[in-house]
Amino acid sequence: MDQQSFEQIYETYKNAGEQQAIQENKGNRPLANTGKEQIVAVRKNDDGDLIAFKTDAGRELDYITALNDAKAGKLAHVDVFHKYGRDILRSEPDGIKENNLDRLPDF
């Protein structure tokens, strides 16, 4: 099998998984106030790094504040993990690219 075949098979697998994730997550994100804010927009520096976040409540958070709010359970659909000697904020891994922090609109 050639490289192109491997890549096509993987892309088919990945796309099917993403479509399944979308189906499984339909309606799973409650619209009612759960007491947690959701990140709806981001700000990036010139290197493309996320440096600030805007919530659905209109708050603009610097990176450290967003990390602390996420650790305290105040932000929905994000996780904090430790890598490269520091804590990093990321989207919940739900298989849907469109709601990844890196793909949210800029503010």
What pTM value is reported for the model? 0.69
Give per-residue pLDDT as tens, 3-32: 778 989 988 887 787 777 666 666 555 444
Give per-residue pLDDT as tens, 38-80: 999 999 999 999 999 999 999 999 999 999 999 999 999 999 9
Return left, alpha or beta for 95; rule: phi > 0 is left, psi -120 to 50 is alpha, else beta: left
Burial of 98 (0-12, 13-18, 19+ CB in 10 A): exposed
